[in-house]
Amino acid sequence: MSYYALLFIAGFAGSFHCIGMCGGFACALGADARGASATSLRHVLYNIGRLSTYCFLGALAGALGQVICTSLAADSQRAAPLLSASLEVGQRALAVMAGLLMILMALRFFGVRAWHGGTSGFGGSTLVVSLRSLLGRRGFAAPLALGVLNGFLPCPLVYAMLAQAASTFDVLAGCLSMAAFGLGTFPAMLAMGGVGRMLAPSWRQRGVRVAGSFILALGLVTLSRGVLPMMSGHGLHHIWHFT
Amino acid sequence: MTSVPDALCRHCLLPVGRRGFTRAVNGEGCQFCCYGCCIAYQVKNGSADASEAAWFLVRLGAGSFLSMNIMLFSLLVYSGAFTGADQRVLPTIHLLLWALATPAVLILGEPFLRETWSQARRGRLTSSALIVLGSLAAYAYSTLAVFQRGGHLYFDTASMVLMLFTLGRYLEAAGRARASRDLAPLLAAESELATVIEAGQEHRRPVREVRAGMLIRVKPGERIPVDGLIVEGRSHTDDAVITGESRQIAKAVGAFVLAGSINLDGPLLIRSSGAGGESRWAQICRSVRDALRQSSRTQRVADRLVGAFVPIVLALAGITLIYWAQRLPLDEAMLTALSVLVVACPCAVGLAAPMAHSLGIGQLARHGCLVRSPGALEALAGIRLIAFDKTGTLTSGRPQLVDIASDGVGEEELLSRLAGLERHSEHGLARAIALAASARGLAPLAAEDVQVLPGRGLRGMVHGEAVAAGSAALMDELGWALPPALFERTELMAAAGHSVVFVGWSEPALAGRARAALSFDDTPLLEARATVDALRALGLQVMLLSGDHAGAAARIATTVGVDDWQAGLLPEAKRAALDQYRALHGAAAMVGDGLNDAPGLAWADVGIAVGSATDLARETADLVLPADGLWLLPWVVARARAVRATILANLAWAFGYNLVALTCGVLGLLQPILAAAVMAGSSLLVVLNSLRLERLPGPCHPGVPQSSAAARPAGEPGPPAQGRSRALALLKAES
């Protein structure tokens, strides 16, 4: 359970980053003319949309990890005498990859850019150009749609969490990881919709640093699962009991 | 901190900082502190021309919310999350899936269903029918399975297939919006509002309602909505939309401004000089819109093929179902047939041509070249021969003084008298004389009692002497003698294709006589030779079809490097000549000035007008280049070829993809969801392949930068004014 709590906290810290990024959407979504409850509903729908995308992506990532592991397991069964050596190697390799990816993402939060582009490609800008027309639409389908599609926008935080989800090697765990993270971003994003940009930029900067630190820590732990011998092979519960 | 004060993010107005970046929004560069602000700013302030994409987006968003949840639970079911103790919740999960899938299928499937229905009523089967049939079959089967408590569920298939196709449609719409980005400023003439000042009040009105004489206020950064004169204010304008050339031009009170140009930095008050709907900008707008509405031959062929495709695929799916049903359980056979239906959807084929077309048309438009139909672009890619008209196309259309034959008078005396006289004339030759006099630093002498004699010339008094300039007939009429030596030389001039003007004057107590003859010629454009060479390098036959006499045509042909020419052709004869060459070489384009050559332009496979008439509506050319835009022609041809190559590649890809995928589908090698993803991917690839056109280089002027003009070897083209006077000098040296 502490694992998901940690992800929730990471999401909460990371939402300072969200305020800078997706907060613009939440603000632009604005107030509903029909009153406070309608406004709240708009923003809740928007966030639910975002959450469902995260869950879906998490489940997919978990499924991917699961598929890779089971296919490796099948291979290792064919090569019976070698025990489940290759399964272990596969899990370790995935953990290392996920860990490195998260560390790279975390470094971005501290202003270190390992690579450029990615966020400005065809998909991102096309989506953005179209998303703006959703903001003005009335009704409750548009905020939901906005949230769902917003979830697909390129974001280092989400990528890092997806790497984490993939390294759980399980559909349900992957889904729940992303759900925990997504719920963590709820308070700040809902607040954004309600109170607007009340946080000073310096606070935002600090929040981004905290988020970066969390992701860095998560990345290091994930990486260690792949690298340190005693932590391998027993899945994630072992690790999280350990931390 | 840096010494320079940090710029502020355009969206959140925080300092941009180290991670900031610049992105163009609505054509102006904006600074953003982060990607999120950039997104949000675009979302809020971007121009709203993507309503089709937005509508799909709502469906896509709401639909994918449902589909993702369906997929999520399906994944959990497949991965064995509900086994053992949780087995008993499985029926509830199934019911939940059904509850999610029903609205998903309705929301995502409705546009496809509607399209299928409306087309079916007209007796046509479209690709939507395939999608509808496929996903409804999966949904119906699964619903039955839920309520009969048995069998597999394929709700995920039904909803994902629909979602992926909606995504495909969305990308298509978004891609189209992107392809038309270059066209947006041209199309804005129909939607733009003008700030009209009436009785001291400002009103926002559609441009088409603006009449001549109205006062219009234009803020900095706005587009000038109508042609007019500046009444108040000063600013710089950018006429790129009209001329294709982006540069700042200073404008002050009394200056003429063009509709469509951008007012860069100062508020202006403009008095409209014509109706808003009649500016060139508005005409261009209509022309471009008409061009985009038409479909080319390739597109029509593709559409017809798609039409034939659908029934075949339906039959194929039926056969697949029957075949596999005898070997596999019914639901698996159905799934295979479903894959066939879904994978054969020829969306990419429909997308292959229009997007490449609108991209091509938009890019040409950005440089001031108007394409009147997508078919013209494709035809231009296939031409083998380019025939030029001479006057005003390869030549400047403005005669210049090239030679003086005098009978004992000095050049300076002659020109200063003549310049004084010709100041009273608007004739093209008069301008050439004034130019020649001022080039030699001569002040025109004052002339009185000047009379213009239409078709013959003009006469007047300079310093008490009668001076006349004009044809030999005028000299004859005045009873002035024409010295035989002078006359002989003028015959040579005329044979070379020059226009000849006799000048004579009387001396006190003596009868007047002709004392000199001036010959004028239309000079070839500086870029003509480079253009002709570039066209030849593209593998085109270049020829000259002139209505002028042989001498003139021959000289121009030699100067610009055209070997093949015909002269003295009436419009009818030009058509015959075109036909003759067409039979020899293949499709032919005709380049003219759009006024005198209208029949020829209309007769050719592609008619190209350079710097054409002001009235675009009466234009017969398929392609209109901007004034002084001859040098763009090789680039236009290359671009047209790139567009055609892209379309062919798209079509080959789309059909090839379909055939391979169809084969796999029939053999049962494709999962329906995978098949749908494959099809959405194929549309995306077509879009991306078309967008590659954006990355091709722009046109490159054959001239060199103006600053290095002095260092340029003689004979190379340079900036117009300087180059033309050198051309004049060269011609003088020759004669």
Q: Is A135 on the interface with B (CB under 8 A)?
A: yes
Min CA distance, A38 vs chain B (Å)? 18
Kindly indicate the confidence band of residue B643, based on its pLDDT and cuts at 50, 70 and 90.
Answer: very high
Min CA distance, B5 vs chain A (Å)? 17
Catalytic, out of B156, B389, B521, B548:
B389
Q: Which of residues 176-205 of B touch A (CB under 8 A)?
A: 177-178
Nearest to B488 by CA among B506, B504, B474, B500: B500
Q: What is the mean pLDDT of residues B277-296?
A: 77
**pLDDT(B14) > 60:** no
Laid out side by side, the sheet with B235-238 consists of: B248-251, B235-238, B262-263
Q: Does B175 sit within 8 Å of A56, measured CB to CB?
A: no
Q: Which residues contact A122 (CB under 8 A, 6 or more apart)?
A: B688, B691
The pLDDT tens digits of the residues spanning A3-41 come to 788 788 777 777 766 665 566 677 667 666 677 777 788
- A179 or A229, which is more confident: A179
Closest residue in B to A19 (Cα) is B36
**pLDDT(B225) > 80:** yes
Kindly indicate the confidence band of residue B636, based on its pLDDT and cuts at 50, 70 and 90.
Answer: very high
- Our answer to whether residue B389 is catalytic in this structure is yes
Neighbours of B8 (CB within 10 A): 15
Kindly indicate the confidence band of residue B102, based on its pLDDT and cuts at 50, 70 and 90.
Answer: very high
Q: What is the pTM of this model?
A: 0.67
Min CA distance, B653 vs chain A (Å)? 21
Q: What is the mean pLDDT of residues B662-682?
A: 81
Taking the C-alpha atoms of residue A131 and residue A26, their distance in angstroms, rounded to an integer, is 12
For chain B, what is the mean pLDDT?
Answer: 78
pLDDT for res B660 = 87
**pLDDT(A173) > 90:** no
Name beta bridge partners: B565. B544
CA atoms within 13 A on the CB side of B376: 29
Q: Which of B42, B59, B72 sits opposite A59 (nearest CB)?
A: B72
**pLDDT(A224) > 60:** yes
Q: B152 with B664: CB under 8 angstroms?
A: no
Q: What is the mean pLDDT of residues B157-177?
A: 75
Cα–Cα separations (whole angstroms), residue B405 to B344, B416, B485? 79, 16, 10
Q: Supply the ipTM of this predicted assembly.
A: 0.72
Q: Which of residues 58-87 of A touch B (CB under 8 A)?
A: 59-60, 63, 66
Taking the C-alpha atoms of residue A177 and residue A160, their distance in angstroms, rounded to an integer, is 12
Residues of chain A neighbouring B79 (CB-CB closer than 8 A): 63, 66, 170-172
The pLDDT tens digits of the residues spanning B429-478 come to 778 888 888 888 888 888 888 888 776 788 888 888 888 888 888 888 88
Q: Does B14 sit within 8 Å of A172, measured CB to CB?
A: no
Closest residue in B to A20 (Cα) is B36
Q: Which of residues 145-184 of A touch B (CB under 8 A)?
A: 145-149, 153-154, 170-172, 175
Q: Does B691 sit within 8 Å of A141, measured CB to CB?
A: no
For chain A, what is the mean pLDDT?
Answer: 71
Q: Does B19 sit within 8 Å of A129, measured CB to CB?
A: no
DSSP SS3 for B396: strand
Q: What is the mean pLDDT of residues B379-391?
A: 86
- Mean pLDDT highest for which of A4-13, B94-103, B304-313, B417-426? B94-103
Residues of chain A neighbouring B177 (CB-CB closer than 8 A): 129-130
The pLDDT tens digits of the residues spanning B195-204 come to 888 888 888 8
Q: Does B64 sit within 8 Å of A21, measured CB to CB?
A: no
DSSP SS3 for B569: coil
Kindly indicate the confidence band of residue B637, based on its pLDDT and cuts at 50, 70 and 90.
Answer: very high
User: Token pair for residue B640?
Assistant: 């047209």
Q: Which of residues 670-689 of B touch A (CB under 8 A)?
A: 688
The pLDDT tens digits of the residues spanning B542-570 come to 988 887 777 778 888 888 888 888 887 77
| CA angle, B423 then B426 then B429, to 5° | 85
pLDDT for res B537 = 92
% of chain B with per-residue pLDDT over 70: 81
Kindly indicate the confidence band of residue A241, based on its pLDDT and cuts at 50, 70 and 90.
Answer: very low
**pLDDT(A160) > 70:** yes
pLDDT for res B726 = 34
- B450 or A117, which is more confident: B450
Taking the C-alpha atoms of residue B321 and residue B666, their distance in angstroms, rounded to an integer, is 9
Q: Is B14 on the interface with A (CB under 8 A)?
A: yes
Taking the C-alpha atoms of residue B186 and residue B241, their distance in angstroms, rounded to an integer, is 7
Neighbours of B119 (CB within 10 A): 16
pLDDT for res A200 = 53
DSSP for residue B524: E
The amino acid occupying position B654 is A
The pLDDT tens digits of the residues spanning B576-586 come to 888 888 888 88
pLDDT for res B40 = 56
**pLDDT(B357) > 80:** yes
Neighbours of A115 (CB within 10 A): 7
Q: What is the mean pLDDT of residues A222-230?
A: 72
Cα–Cα separations (whole angstroms), residue B93 to B73, B134, B139? 8, 24, 16
- B527 or B289, which is more confident: B527
pLDDT for res B721 = 35
Supply the DSSP string of B192-225, one letter for each residue: -EEEEEETTEEEEEEGGG--TT-EEEE-TTSBP-
Q: Does B69 sit within 8 Å of A120, measured CB to CB?
A: no
Q: What is the mean pLDDT of residues B506-524?
A: 79
Kindly indicate the confidence band of residue B174, based on its pLDDT and cuts at 50, 70 and 90.
Answer: low
Q: Is B46 on the interface with A (CB under 8 A)?
A: yes
- B115 or B230, which is more confident: B230
pLDDT for res B712 = 35
Nearest to B541 by CA among B481, B585, B501: B585
Kindly indicate the confidence band of residue B114, based on its pLDDT and cuts at 50, 70 and 90.
Answer: confident
The pLDDT tens digits of the residues spanning A208-222 come to 677 777 778 878 887
pLDDT for res B49 = 45
Could you tell me how far CA B486 lies from the centroid of its own chain?
52
pLDDT for res B634 = 92
Q: Which of A122, A141, A172 sits opposite B76 (nearest CB)?
A: A172
